[in-house]
Amino acid sequence: MSDPFELLKAEVDLLGRLLGEAIRKVSGERFFALVEEVRLLAKGRRQGEAGTGEALLRRVEGLSVEEAEALVRAFTHYFHLVNLAEERHRVRVNRLRAQAETPENPRPEGFLALAQALKARGLSLEEAEAHLNRLELVLTFTAHPTETRRRTLRHHLERLQEELEGEDRARLAARVALLYATEEVRKARPSVEDEIKGGLYYLPTTLWEAIPKVVAGLEAALERVYGRRPRLQSPVRFRSWIGGDRDGNPYVTPEVTAFASRYARTAAREKFLEALGGLVRDLSLSEARLPVPKEVREGGEGVERFPGEPYRRYFAALYRALEGEALSTEDLARALRVAEKGLEGVGLAQVAEVFLKPLEARLSAFGLELAPLDLREESGKLLEAAAELLRLGGVHGAFLSLAPEEQEALLTEELKTPRPLLPVGESPQGEALRVALGALRAWGDKGAHVVSMTHHPADLLAVFLLAREVGLYRPGKPLPFDVVPLFETLEDLNRAPGVLKRLLQNPVFRAHAEGRGGVEVMIGYSDSNKDAGFLMANLALYEAQEALHAVGEAEGVPVFFFHGRGTSTARGGGPAGRAIASLPVRSVGRRLRLTEQGEALADRYAHPDLAVRHLEQLLFHFAQAALGEGVEPRPEFRQALWEAGERSMERYRALLQQEGFFPFFEAFTPIREIGELPIASRPVYRHGRVRDIRDLRAIPWVMAWTQVRLLLPGWYGLSALESLPLSLLQAMYREWPFFATTLESAAMALAKADLGIAALYLRLVPEGLRGFFQHLAEEYQKTVDLLQAIFEAPLLHNQKTLERQIGLRNPYVDPINFVQAELLRRYRAPGGREDEGLRRALLLSLLGVAAGLRNAG
């Protein structure tokens, strides 16, 4: 069977049969018959068989709580197995395509295509090598509040992956049975420490294997195109927010931050110790056979073992130094290079290539920190901490009452001196100052300090004041870490260029930015979407980047962007490589940061080959965008889209502000229940329960609409484009990559949506509020028709794989939605919240829909 898709179907069939056997053994024949009955009814409904939808609804209404829970579990486990099979399918297809590529027919978005593109743009090998070695693609792992896969489940799925490679069907069946009999929902809400361990999992495992392949793949591609192999370091770096992101999470204490830093460093040290131990075992070269460089001989002095084997002694000494934490990343990099030159000098370049180059690639990607930790705090908390510090130091008793410009002037003047402000022996009284100083003291690996909700320069200068208090800032010098403004809402994005200009003209921040080699600016996709709607948020982000880049050019300071993207299209999701290609021309510098949300990690990094392909696609687009070339939109395109964006925002905000909409949203979606799901440490609402969408976090806002299969944040308001001539829209789609990517992202959300399933939840809504659904249904259809007219093709005309996946999954997601809507009705009835079994079944349904759609929010 050579067709990869046929292999996929065969594996899905096999896993489905084994799951059926497990259901029979664990839950009995009667329950297995129920699963089959529901599956066939759902399939018939999808195929348009008369009466099947009503029959399915009646069957679900008659379920006991125990039957409902078991049914959800059965279909959820089916999706875990389908996801596993699809990952294997992607690996197979990737390998086949890699084997089939030739210089005449390079693989799309691949390393060979990148090498050819660099040569076509006139770069010599030396210039291409220098360009790639300047690049820094920094992937920043975050804890996703809706990460839905327990580590125990991940363990079973990884073992299943291994069993599928073999021929022992008994072992495979046993593992499927173990998976089916395992609890999906944690008994207690995870701690931040749990999120740290889960979120960093892929770094010392699959990514450890993938990074050397990325570097080797780039080098080999350049060798095929230019005829000579260059020397490259890893263009990929990693960071983490998990354990440092305090914005709205009271559980990220200084103690947790210290744990996060320590945990990552320990994981990295263990991996590099393991690698150095391997070199001690393998590099048994005798000095009687080969000459040895002086540096290698001297580096092994003090090691008593391995007489006459200097390389073994050399790496044993490095092992000892690293074990005692007396070795830095730079020290180890220099030591590896010395050994590599020694081997190359005696004709053993192949030995260096096989045994040392992979470790050098890993060291340039991970360092000895694995993923340096960022801190993130909300600007108001930082100003509150600075205010107490200034009061205790006798500088100003009412700092928060000052105008922002006055706050900036006061902080700028105060930062001219090195003096600390906290009196000797006095401890902070306020929580904000205690946490801020404690976190800075605990923060050992110096990533970046991100200031969310940045409004004014004083928000960032507060970080300098706090850093001075713990000995990290000296007047006129840069901090040892980046201080990053985060612009999130539409108002903040519009104000961002002015804030950045003022910052770069402030002497304290200017000296810091110059010392750091530029300024990093983060832009947020989640809150801007929730604030302004899909179209306006995307346009505002695009124009803010252009304006911020222009400020940097005018001030002579490079601006590097940090994109706070989510996985859903509403939060900047979709194919990340194409998103990079659609960024404003010249806005992509040599460094680019992207968030990698917790729920996306398994999809991208569960297998080393998948990780390599994901990084390959990112680098293909990033390396070209960093050259500063691209497509400038025609002025009439920009003007037309801005006018449509304004109308789109008006429609979106009018909907949210309409009387009754928030009660409709809370009744129609499971937003309240999402807050009770023990899957993340961060609260759903920013400040407790309120009656306003503005105080709801962006991620659960998106997740709630995803659960009911409407995905509203990913498309609502786009119908405002109907005011523009169709011929103009079609030209914009053909000629402007940003516009094309925006529409195709919306098309993904629309294709995943399902009005028929969404209508199931109307039973939960009071009669007087149901008109909102009719309006949303009309807007949905209007938007679908408009996009298909612009594309002159179906919604997913260029995303056939996604189209096939949706078609395969829908009949199996549908039953979970049917059950979920019924469980919500029972849960919200008097006494429902006291029923622990009902609560568990409902929470399982939320996990099940997320697993089926491969997108929680």
What residue has token string 């976090």? Answer: 697
What residue has token string 């899909």? Answer: 534
Distance in angstroms (rounded) separating the CA atoms of residues 31 and 477: 69
Residues forming beta bridges with residue 562, ordered by sequence position: 522, 593
Task: Kindly compute the dihedral angle of the four CA atoms of residues 503, 504, 505, 507, in this order, to the nearest 10 degrees.
Answer: 90
Asked if 472 and 479 count as a contact pair (C-beta separation under 8 A), the reply is yes
**φ/ψ (deg, to 5) at 147:** -60, 125
Can you read off the two tokens belonging to residue 468? 């001075």
501 is catalytic: no
Distance in angstroms (rounded) separating the CA atoms of residues 533 and 540: 10
Nearest 5°: CA angle at 681, between 704 and 187?
90
Can you read off the two tokens belonging to residue 39? 């599956």
Spell out the residues 6+ positions from residue 659 whose beta carbon is closer than 8 angstroms to its own: none
Distance in angstroms (rounded) separating the CA atoms of residues 43 and 432: 55
Radius of gyration of the chain (CA): 28
Distance in angstroms (rounded) separating the CA atoms of residues 432 and 34: 55
Other CB atoms within 10 A of residue 453 CB: 20
Residue 307 three-state SS: coil
Can you read off the two tokens belonging to residue 206? 């699959």
Beta strands in 203-308 (DSSP E): 236-240
Task: Kindly compute the dihedral angle of the four CA atoms of residues 239, 848, 524, 242, in this order, to the nearest 10 degrees.
Answer: -30
How many angstroms separate the first and last alpha carbons of the chain? 37
Q: CA separation (Å) from 462 to 445, 453, 478, 646?
A: 20, 14, 14, 35
Alpha carbon of residue 757 to chain centroid: 28
Spell out the residues 6+ positions from residue 3 whose beta carbon is closer than 8 angstroms to its own: none
Asked if 612 and 213 count as a contact pair (C-beta separation under 8 A), the reply is yes
156, 455, 456, 530: the catalytic one is 530
Name which of 812, 818, 830 is nearest 58 in CA terms: 818
Asked if 479 and 448 count as a contact pair (C-beta separation under 8 A), the reply is no
What residue has token string 């080969």? Answer: 290
Spell out the residues 6+ positions from residue 418 whose beta carbon is closer than 8 angstroms to its own: 468, 474, 475
Asked if 626 and 729 count as a contact pair (C-beta separation under 8 A), the reply is no
Asked if 813 and 852 count as a contact pair (C-beta separation under 8 A), the reply is yes
Using a 10 angstrom Cβ sphere, with 0-12 exposed, 13-18 middle and 19 or more buried, the burial of residue 135 is buried
144 is catalytic: yes
Name which of 84, 87, 72 is nearest 14 in CA terms: 84
77, 144, 396, 607: the catalytic one is 144
* DSSP 8-state class, residue 424: T
Residues forming beta bridges with residue 245, ordered by sequence position: 376
Can you read off the two tokens belonging to residue 575? 């194919």
Q: CA separation (Å) from 781 to 530, 641, 702, 739, 778?
A: 22, 21, 20, 20, 5
Amino acid at 215: V
Spell out the residues 6+ positions from residue 589 whose beta carbon is closer than 8 angstroms to its own: 518, 558, 559, 560, 561, 626
Q: CA separation (Å) from 836 to 151, 184, 846?
A: 23, 15, 16
Alpha carbon of residue 326 to chain centroid: 33
Distance in angstroms (rounded) separating the CA atoms of residues 221 and 110: 9
The residues annotated as belonging to the active site are 144, 530
